[in-house]
Amino acid sequence: MGFQFQHREFIWMAGGIVLLLLLFIFLLRWKKKVNKRIGDPTLVKSLIGTYSNKKFVLKLVFLIIAFGLGVVAVMNLRRPAADETSQRKGIDVVIALDVSKSMLAQDLPPSRLERAKQFINKLMVAMPDDRIGLVVFAGRAYLQMPLTTDYGAAQLYISSAGPETVPLQGTVISEALHQSSNAFNTTERRFKTVVLISDGEDHDPETHIIPITLQAAAGKRPRVEIFGEDYPTPDGTCVRDYIHVIDLARAHIQALEALSEGSRIYNLGCGGAGYSVNEVVETARRVTGREIPTHVGPRRAGDPATLVASSDRIKTELGWQPQFQDLGLIIESAWRWMQNHPDGYDH
């Protein structure tokens, strides 16, 4: 079987050979012009008596050969195995590691982040034939280390990962998964695994209505801003749907179990027609037993009146059903968590 390049996308680098030839031609013409300006052939010959055209051309040849071999090395010329698909032992594993500040919490000593790093190191020991890559994420996601078999370098990247790696706080899991997917060889459909390590969402600043409302109930913000009350909804405020964290976790588990059958996209919601912003505030008042001040301001540009997800596909294909559809249960769980963690994940 013939040889083939593993990374054909770098073929454009071969254009550097043409550039070298053009520079060589330009240099020859420039030398001829300089010689003509001097005028006296005897003087020119005496000035460049030790110069050798053959050596100059030979240097160019060696330079082109070296550059060409470098391009071949980058493109990785190889002879593929005849039954590579059946004999391949290793897989490509991309670790998506949450490095938000909440991962510094010490409920899992020495901290969630250090415990995650320990797990990754143990994972590398257990997969000697695999390539590993690293994506770090918080409010943004970045490819920290491309796929490699150099586990020594991988350990250095992993040990240096921390909140300072990503300046924007938050938990953008979707972007982390997107970056992880882009790290793989797109020509292969198999032998790919993403390991996502996160402690969940932690927004800084907070943008979701339920935690914002509960922060107002806890006295951590003066009021709840309601952006518009003139929408075509029953009470004039925007309608959204919500999901309990346990139902969300169950959906992820069922989706992971079905991943071997191929990737799919599911929408998740608590079902029904959704709840308005005013309903969220009123329910939070009932659950917390506290007054929650509100202030009605103008609409925000781009806010739709109603935005409710359909969970029909995951219900049909995976049999998932939300167990905590009631808004009161969702807010009660969130309020209980906030009371147990008044300063959030950082403490």
Could you tell me the CATH number of the domain that includes residue 324?
A: 3.90.25.10
> Domains in the chain: how many in total?
3
151 part of the active site: yes
Is residue 204 a part of any domain in this protein?
A: no
In this structure, is residue 37 part of a structural domain? Answer: yes
Other Cβ atoms within 10 Å of 80 Cβ, number: 12
Q: Is the peptide bond before 163 cis (omega within 30 degrees of 0)?
A: no
Q: What is the pLDDT of residues 305-325, one digit of tens each?
A: 999 999 999 999 999 998 888
Task: Considering the candidates 51, 142, 151, 266, report the single residue annotated as catalytic.
Answer: 151
Domain limits for position 70: 4-78
- 125 and 74 belong to one structural domain: no
On the question of pLDDT at 84 being above 50, the answer is no
| CATH classification at residue 134 | 3.40.50.410
- Residue 203 inside a domain? The answer is no
Q: What are the structure tokens assigned to 28, written together?
A: 């020859």
111 and 188 inside one domain: yes
Q: 27, 49, 78 — which closes off a domain?
A: 78
Q: Does residue 70 sit in the same domain as residue 94? A: no
Give exposure, 134-164, as e/b (b: 16+ Cβ within 10 Å): bbbbbbebeebbebeeebeebeebbeebbbe
Q: Are residues 213 and 331 in the same domain?
A: yes
Kind plus residue range of the DSSP H or E element containing 239: strand 239-240
Q: What is the pLDDT of residue 306?
A: 96
Which of 2-6, 163-167, 204-208 is predicted least confidently? 2-6
- Write out pLDDT tens, residues 22-75: 888 888 888 777 767 766 666 666 666 666 677 778 888 888 898 888 888 887
Indicate whether 202 belongs to any domain: no
pLDDT above 50 for 139: yes
The token pair that represents 165 in the structure block: 């790696």
Residues 189 and 269 in one domain: no
With the C-alpha atoms ordered 179, 184, 185, 190, is the resulting torsion angle positive or negative? negative
In this structure, the strands spanning 239-240 and 275-276 are: antiparallel
Residue with tokens 């240097």: 59
Comparing C-alpha atoms, which of 191, 7, 251, 204 is closest to residue 101? 204
Is 110 found in the same domain as 36? Answer: no
The alpha carbon of residue 54 and the mean position of all alpha carbons in its chain are separated, in whole angstroms, by: 53
231 found inside a domain: yes
Neighbours of 237 (CB within 10 A): 24
Q: Which of residues 78, 94, 122 is at a domain's end?
A: 78
| Domain C-terminal end among 147, 177, 197 | 197
Distance linking the first and last C-alpha atoms of the chain: 61
User: What is the DSSP code string of 315-337?
Assistant: HHHH----S---HHHHHHHHHHH
226 and 336 fall within a common domain: yes
When the pLDDT of each residue in the chain is averaged and rounded to a whole number, the result is 85
Structure tokens belonging to residue 207? 């943008």
Angle of helix 15-38 versus helix 53-75 axis, rounded to 10? 160
**Cα gap 297→303, rounded to integer Å:** 13
CA separation for the pair 228, 296 (Å, rounded) = 6
Section 297-304 average pLDDT = 94
Q: What per-residue confidence (pLDDT) applies to 330?
A: 94
**Distance (Å, rounded) from C-alpha 32 to C-alpha 283?**
88
Token pair listed for 106: 């010490």
Other residues' Cβ atoms within 10 Å of the Cβ of residue 288: 19
Asked if 225 and 334 sit in the same domain, the reply is yes
Q: How far apart are CA 77 and CA 150, in angstroms?
A: 20
Residues 247 and 341 occupy one common structural domain: yes
Classify residue 305: in a domain, yes or no.
yes
Core vs surface per residue 290-312: b (16+ CB within 10 A) or e: eebebeeeeeeeeeeeeebbebe
> Using alpha carbons only, how large is the chain's radius of gyration in Å?
31
Which pLDDT band holds residue 203 (cuts at 50, 70, 90)?
low
Is residue 120 located within the same domain as residue 138? yes
**Whether residue 135 is found in the same domain as residue 233:** no
289, 263: one domain: yes
